[in-house]
Amino acid sequence: MPTHTTVGDGTTAAPARPIEIAKEKADSVQEDLAVAGAELHLTNTALDRSLPQSAKQGDVGKALEQNGIVQQKVSQAAEELAEVTELLEEEIAERHRLEAQLARRGMSENG
């Protein structure tokens, strides 16, 4: 089902293309990942500061270490998704440029 874009004046534009929908979803997921990474960091910092060293042994120590690893993976995924989003933006801009060029050619051939 096509998604329509609402223009600043409240009118509805043509359906969004799949690449534009993908970019919007990538933006949303990237934001969610950034928030999750920040929340993990805050949680890990609070646990690290609150627990005495003696409590950071065994399973608790492993859990704290694993949380740190997950935090790093989430942050890395957010960074990689930012790169993907940038590539999508470049592709969308190139597509718009080519469509405008084709439209100009069509008008000059018909004119």
The model's pLDDT over 66-101, given as tens digits with 9 standing for 90+, comes to 999 999 999 999 999 999 999 999 999 999 999 999
Q: What is the pTM of this model?
A: 0.70
Locate 64 and state its tokens.
């704290």
Please name which of 88, 96, 69 lies closest in space to residue 29, comparing C-alpha atoms. 88
Say what the pLDDT of residue 31 is: 93
Cβ atoms of 33 and 77 within 8 Å: the answer is: yes
What is the SS3 assignment for 5? strand
Q: Give tens-digit pLDDT for 10-46.
A: 655 566 789 999 999 999 999 999 999 999 999 999 9
Domain ranges for the chain, please list them: 17-41+68-110
What is the SS3 assignment for 38? helix
